[in-house]
Structure 1
Amino acid sequence: MKISNPIIKEAQEKMSKSEDSLQRELGNIRAGRANASLLSRINVNYYGVETPLNQMAQISVPEARVLLVKPYDKSALKDVEHAILASDLGISPANDGSAIRLVIPQLTEERRQELAKQVRAKTEDGKVAVRNIRRDMMDQLKQSEKDGDLNEDELHSLEEQAQQVTDESVKNLDLIADDKEKEILEG
């Protein structure tokens, strides 16, 4: 849908950012499969500087449930191992002297249900954010009418566009959540 009003365009961009944020948050939920994004929040104390793990090591997925972390600097292997142990990942690293293997354990049915609930909760947070953006957008449109920038018919038309943009964003959030839930439950 082509949007020409700057208020709706700005709101649409904010909603898109909410969708991206949900995608990133759900990427951090462990679904029983190896995924490099599981390590995206881990920082390593590297020569006194907190450095993101993905900037100082190659992270690959050699098997469906195995992550392989190869630091570019082999002397940082112990630091990487300590950072992974200190994280909330809950996976014990296996250090073979040149790389670290992380074996993602199979999820129990109970744990799958808990993770699915987390997905739904994070999705609801995303929907709340989208509804807040919609509310602000509607307030701005009504203010534009009061200021004389819009007549009543234009306001009504723009409100319909705003609702369409909102509905589209909510639908996208649901699709993102459904994909993640399916990944978790089928594992």
Structure 2
Amino acid sequence: MDIQSLFTQEEERMNKAISSFKLDLASIRTGRASTTLLDRVSVEYYGIPTPIKQVANVSAPEPRLITIVPWEKNMLAPIEKAILKSDLGLNPNNDGTMIRLEIPQLTEERRKDLSKKVNKHAEEARVVIRNIRRDANESIKKLEKKRDITEDDSKEAQTNIQKLTDKKIKEIDEMKAKKEKEVMEV
């Protein structure tokens, strides 16, 4: 394996970690209704766990309301159960044809809890990025030890991996700050 393919592989792993972080942030609710809240909620559909968006039409017609209209009426109860089991803290209203999720105004205490949750997810993402950096540096050192690359190439590759790590961590910090601002907004 050469340095460039190693670098590309590690950058791909870091991008996947950031994508996962974005999903984590999307599942944290703010004061406004967003259909992304339900991205991580799955429902049993013919024995297979399936995202709600694949068995129903999900929309946010108002700032504090999400509506879920299942394509099959028999899916109303399982969707309602899945939402209740999720950690979203929402109570679904089932009227026989659709489910309405009213997004309550967040209290100051709840906003602080959600902000802590955002920080926790951000730190987990940073740790993943740092672990990827560590793995990359170990691989570079192994290449140097086997004399596949020179010491100068090794130092340069490690510097480039560090620059990439700094860039990705900065990206995570920016997303965290943006989400915290959304959460704390009244």
Q: TM-score, normalised by structure 2?
A: 0.92
Residue type of the partner of 2:75? A
Task: Find runs of 4+ consecutive structure 1 residues off by over 6 angstroms.
Answer: none
Residue type of the partner of 1:175? E
Q: Is the 8 A contact 2:31 2:185 kept in 1?
A: no
**What secondary structure does 2:147 align onto?**
coil
Identity of aligned residues (%): 43
Does residue 1:6 correspond to 2:9, yes or no?
A: no
Equivalent position of 1:129 in the other structure = 128
The change in CA–CA distance for 1:47 and 1:15 in structure 2 (over 3 A counts) is closer
Residue type of the partner of 1:119? V
Equivalent position of 2:39 in the other structure = 40
Q: Find the aligned partners of 1:48 and 1:18 in 2 and give their Cα distance.
A: 29
Q: Find the aligned partners of 1:26 and 1:57 in 2 and give their Cα distance.
A: 23
Q: Find the aligned partners of 2:35 and 2:95 in 1 and give their Cα distance.
A: 19
Residue type of the partner of 1:149? D
**How many pairs were matched up?**
184
Equivalent position of 2:81 in the other structure = 82
Q: Find the aligned partners of 2:40 and 2:79 in 1 and give their Cα distance.
A: 13
Equivalent position of 2:183 in the other structure = 184
Offset at residue 39 of structure 1 (A)? 1.4
Please, which moves more after superposition, 111-120 or 32-41?
A: 32-41
Offset at residue 50 of structure 1 (A)? 3.7
- Output the aligned Cα RMSD: 1.6
Q: TM-score, normalised by structure 1?
A: 0.91
Offset at residue 151 of structure 1 (A)? 0.9
Q: Find the aligned partners of 1:69 and 1:6 in 2 and give their Cα distance.
A: 45
Equivalent position of 2:143 in the other structure = 144
**What secondary structure does 1:5 align onto?**
helix
